[in-house]
Amino acid sequence: MKRIRLYLTVVVLALAGIMSTQLSAQVLRDADFNSIGRINGNGVVRNETGHSIGTFDTDGTVRDNSGKALGVIKQLEIFDTDGTRIGYINTDGTVHDGESKVLGYISINDGKVTNASKQTIGFARGVRVDWIACYYFFHFFGK
């Protein structure tokens, strides 16, 4: 009985370790499913070579790798540094620009990112939709 408990404990801890590693950094992919970067749980954005290219701060500020503010996210709305709304995301994952024109879609279920013509432009499963929108549609990190 003690061996079974020990075995189950080891299995549960191993699974927890695997899951926490996967949750700590999510891969950003292009349309061909090639890795183009990562975003970790703390909001650090890295390119495909692992170099930091920016961050999402806890207060909603989006910064480049030098710490310069690029914009702000407030409740699924995205603003530039002047405070002008440049876009927003509906709860269904539809991404709009500041003029309410549809830029694309983010699938809440599988992280698939498509443009307004419904062509796949990338994948970002397990990443916040506002972060995905800033990366793929508003090009805050030079993409």
Give the per-residue pLDDT at 1. 59
Give 10-residue mean pLDDT values along the chain (143 residues). 50 43 72 95 93 95 95 96 96 95 95 96 93 93 73
Tokens of 108: 């809440």
Give the per-residue pLDDT at 70. 95
Give the per-residue pLDDT at 2. 53
Output b/e per residue, 88-112; b: 16+ Cβ within 10 A.
bbeeebebbbeeeeebbbbbeeebb
Within a 13 Å sphere around the CA of 134, how many CA atoms are in the beta-carbon half? Answer: 32
Tokens of 96: 């709009």
Give the per-residue pLDDT at 22. 41
**This model's pTM is above 0.85:** no
